[in-house]
C-alpha cells in the first residue's frame, strides 16, 4: 500500500521500493470513533491508513470542533509527528480503520538513507498544506453552498486518484455534523445546503453514498480547480 501510494506521487527506484518494503510495521484495527493520537501526545510512530477513514481535528471551548482534514486509505495523517514532537491536534478514526504503525526511527533511517523518499514524503506534507489553504478559501471567501460543493469535488478527486471512486459516485462515511465542523458551519445549515444541492439535481447524499449528478455544474459553482491537489505529477 505504501509503495503504491508513494509510487503514485513519484517514481521509485527498485532499491527504494525494496527499502520501503523492509519498513517494520505493526498492523492494528481500530473501531470507528476512537482517537489514534491526541493533542499534546508525543507519538513515537506514524500510521498509514490501510482501510477506512480518519480525520484530524481540534476541540475548543463550549463543544466547538474544527475538523482539519479527512483521510483515506494510503494517507499518512500524522506524518507531522516525525518532526514536530508534540501533537497540536488530534487524529481519530471516522469509521473502523486498519492502520499500519511505523516507528519514527525506521522512517528517519529511511529518509536519511534515501533522500528521494524523504523528498516524496516531504512533498506529501506540502500537498497537505495546499489542501489546508484551499479549505481556508472555502471558509473565508466562499458561501456555505459553494464550500460544501467544493468539498465533495475535492474528495471525489482524491478518491479517484487512488482508485476508490469512479462514475462521480463514492461512499462518504461521515455525518452532516462532520461536514459542518470541517467547513465551519452549523449542522442545521449543512442540512439545508444539502437539500438545495439535491433539489437542484447536483448532488445527492443518502445512506452514506454520495452521488454527483452534474459534475461540470458542481465544479463550476464551487469554483473547483484541482490544481492544488497536485495529482498531476506523473502525467505532467
What residues numbered 40-79 form the site for its own copies, per CB under 8 A? 40, 56, 58, 60-61, 64-66, 68
Complex with its own copies: residue 78 or 165, whichever CB lies closer: 78
DSSP assignment of 23-71 equals ---EEEEE-TT-EEE-TT---SEEEEEEES-EEEEEE-GGG-EEEEEEE
Chosen residue from 101, 161, 184, 198 binding its own copies by CB under 8 A:
184
Complex with DNA: residue 98 or 186, whichever CB lies closer: 186
Q: Single out the residue of 33, 115, 48 nearest to residue 81, CA to CA.
A: 48
Chosen residue from 108, 192, 220, 233 binding DNA by CB under 7 A:
192
DSSP assignment of 126-159 equals HHHHHHHHHHHHHHHHS-HHHHHHHHHHHHHHHH
> Residue 37 CB, nearest distance to its own copies (Å)?
14
Phi, psi of 162 (to 5 degrees): -110, 15
Chosen residue from 13, 26, 143, 201 binding DNA by CB under 7 A:
143
What residues numbered 167-186 form the site for DNA, per CB under 7 A? 175-177, 180, 184-186
Q: Single out the residue of 47, 54, 44 nearest to residue 26, CA to CA.
A: 47
Q: Does 119 bind its own copies (CB under 8 A)?
A: yes
> Residue 106 CB, nearest distance to its own copies (Å)?
14
Task: Give the footprint of DNA on this chain (CB under 7 A).
Answer: 143-145, 175-177, 180, 184-189, 191-192, 194-195, 206-207
Amino acid at each position: 500500500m505504501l509503495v503504491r501510494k508513494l509510487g503514485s506521487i513519484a517514481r521509485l527506484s527498485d532499491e527504494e521500493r525494496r527499502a520501503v518494503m523492509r519498513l517494520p510495521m505493526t498492523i492494528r484495527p481500530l473501531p470507528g470513533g476512537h482517537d489514534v493520537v491526541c493533542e499534546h501526545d508525543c507519538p513515537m510512530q506514524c500510521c498509514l491508513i490501510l482501510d477506512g477513514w480518519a480525520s484530524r481535528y481540534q476541540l475548543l471551548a463550549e463543544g466547538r470542533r474544527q475538523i482539519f482534514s479527512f483521510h483515506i486509505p494510503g494517507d499518512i495523517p500524522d506524518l507531522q509527528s516525525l518532526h514536530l514532537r508534540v501533537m497540536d491536534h488530534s487524529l481519530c478514526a471516522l469509521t473502523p480503520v486498519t492502520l499500519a504503525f511505523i516507528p519514527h526511527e525506521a522512517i528517519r533511517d529511511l529518509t536519511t538513507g534515501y533522500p528521494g523518499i524523504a523528498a516524496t514524503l516531504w512533498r506529501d506534507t506540502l500537498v497537505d498544506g495546499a489542501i489546508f489553504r484551499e479549505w481556508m478559501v472555502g471558509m473565508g471567501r466562499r458561501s456555505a453552498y459553494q464550500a460544501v460543493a467544493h468539498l465533495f469535488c475535492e474528495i471525489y478527486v482524491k478518491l479517484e486518484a487512488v482508485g476508490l471512486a469512479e462514475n462521480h459516485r463514492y461512499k462518504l462515511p461521515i455525518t452532516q455534523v462532520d461536514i459542518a465542523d470541517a467547513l465551519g458551519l452549523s449542522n442545521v445549515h449543512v442540512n439545508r445546503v444539502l437539500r438545495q444541492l439535491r433539489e437542484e439535481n447536483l448532488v445527492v447524499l443518502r445512506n452514506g453514498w454520495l452521488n454527483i449528478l452534474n459534475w461540470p455544474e458542481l465544479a463550476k459553482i464551487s469554483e473547483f480547480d484541482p490544481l492544488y491537489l497536485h495529482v498531476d505529477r506523473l502525467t505532467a
